[in-house]
Amino acid sequence: MALLEVRNARLYYATTKGVVKAVDGISFELYEGETLAVVGESGSGKTTLGKLLTRVWERNVSVADGEIYLEGKEILHITEEEFRREIRWRKIAMVPQASMNALNPVIKIGDQMIEPLLMQGTSRDDALKMAMDALESVGLPRDLVNRYPHQLSGGMKQRVIIAMSIMAHPKVVILDEPTSALDVITQANIMNLLKKLKWEFKLSYIFVTHDLSLASELADSVAIMYAGKLVEIGGAEDIYGNPSHPYTQGLISSVPTLRVDKNLSFIPGEVPSLINPPAGCRFHPRCPFYRDRDYLKGLCDAKEPPMMELGSKAGRKHLVACWLYK
């Protein structure tokens, strides 16, 4: 059984310009101890997907729907009180984007770390011990609880945030661009730390990133998002070795490699507005196949392609939403 099962998940925001369909009917599964990398450009909805899974969303949400099962229990429609008490931090934790910069400069690290646990009813002594244990797990000294954020380097602050995410021993950790704004050496250290923690605590990760090469460091499976939709998902071997959606192919051919001399290409245009996305396949205004093949006219621009199965390796289905495979 999947540890996390997401079925037709949607998260819409009401704005003065219209309804933003940031996550629009997404389904996937995550297995224990595995990492699913969610990859896409800015505006693809990947960060919003993390917010949907942790129910940390803005006040102007107009639709939060679908089904999300964690260890077989539906968690999207339980009360906020039950979610806060039993799920957030304890079962699903998140390392939000640029969160190391969100540490309060005038509050000690320890006090910031234990706050969510105190709110859930853990005693101060127990919470402090959990915080110190977590700091030790990420390679920081236990007495760091008594220091202030300005006394730490960027890499240490990011380790603190990661320690916060694992301190209540969650099953699933959502990592949203966990190494952005770090230099490459610190980035490599953090990636190694994430691998160590995954193994040590049998964690399952949802690794949200725009960086396909970074995703390959951790991913067992990869999901490609475009304009609020999932367009391709499969085992890492399938996605990197046999990218099938034209958007995935474009992303992969725009990644430079050290060993192979190749011409880099780019995907012309930009991610469309999620208020009025293109009809049919949302990628069609940028798709080279749609431009070049007449039989796709009137199809790609009119009907949304369903997810189609291309095969399966090691129990991981390779699925793609593209009319080329019908």
Rounded Cα distance between 103 and 266, Å, is 37
- Give the nearest distance from C-beta 3 to ligand SF4 in angstroms: 30
Closest CB to ligand SF4 among residues 17, 295: 295
Q: Where are the alpha helices (DSSP H) in the chain?
A: 46-54, 80-82, 109-119, 124-137, 154-166, 184-201, 212-218, 236-241, 246-253, 288-292
Q: By CB under 6 A, is residue 226 in contact with ligand SF4?
A: no
Among 246, 250, 272, 277, binds ligand SF4 (CB under 6 A): 246
Beta strand 308-313 with 172-176 is: unpaired
Contact predicate 41/210, CB 8 Å: yes
- Give the nearest distance from C-beta 273 to ligand SF4 in angstroms: 17
Task: Assign residue 113 a region (left: φ > 0; alpha: ψ between -120 and 50; beta: otherwise).
Answer: alpha
Phi, psi of 227 (to 5 degrees): 50, 45
- Give the nearest distance from C-beta 301 to ligand SF4 in angstroms: 8
Interacting span for ligand SF4 (CB under 6 A) from 3-11, 42-50, 211-219, 316-324: 316-324
- Tally of CA atoms within 13 A in the half-sphere of 284 that contains its CB: 22
Closest CB to ligand SF4 among residues 319, 322: 322
Closest CB to ligand SF4 among residues 120, 242: 242
Closest CB to ligand SF4 among residues 113, 296: 296
- Give the nearest distance from C-beta 113 to ligand SF4 in angstroms: 45
Closest CB to ligand SF4 among residues 33, 278: 278
- Give the nearest distance from C-beta 318 to ligand SF4 in angstroms: 15
Q: By CB under 6 A, is residue 305 in contact with ligand SF4?
A: yes
Q: What is the largest CA-CA distance in the chain?
A: 68
Rounded Cα distance between 99 and 177, Å, is 10
Q: By CB under 6 A, is residue 300 in contact with ligand SF4?
A: yes
Among 287, 316, 318, 319, binds ligand SF4 (CB under 6 A): 287
DSSP letter for 60, please.
Answer: T
Residues in the interface with ligand SF4 (CB under 6 A) total 14
Q: By CB under 6 A, is residue 322 in contact with ligand SF4?
A: yes
- Give the nearest distance from C-beta 234 to ligand SF4 in angstroms: 16
Closest CA to 218 of 241, 197, 234, 195: 195
Interacting span for ligand SF4 (CB under 6 A) from 36-44, 197-205, 255-263, 278-286: 278-286
Rounded Cα distance between 197 and 193, Å, is 6
Q: By CB under 6 A, is residue 230 in contact with ligand SF4?
A: no
Closest CB to ligand SF4 among residues 33, 285: 285
Residue 318 structure tokens: 């390779």
SS3 129: helix
Rounded Cα distance between 73 and 309, Å, is 27
Contacts of 137 (CB under 8 A, 6+ apart): 163, 166, 197, 200, 201
Footprint (CB under 6 A) of ligand SF4, residues 102-161: none
Closest CB to ligand SF4 among residues 205, 323: 323
List of residues contacting ligand SF4 (CB under 6 A): 245-246, 281, 283-284, 287, 289-290, 296, 300, 305, 322-324
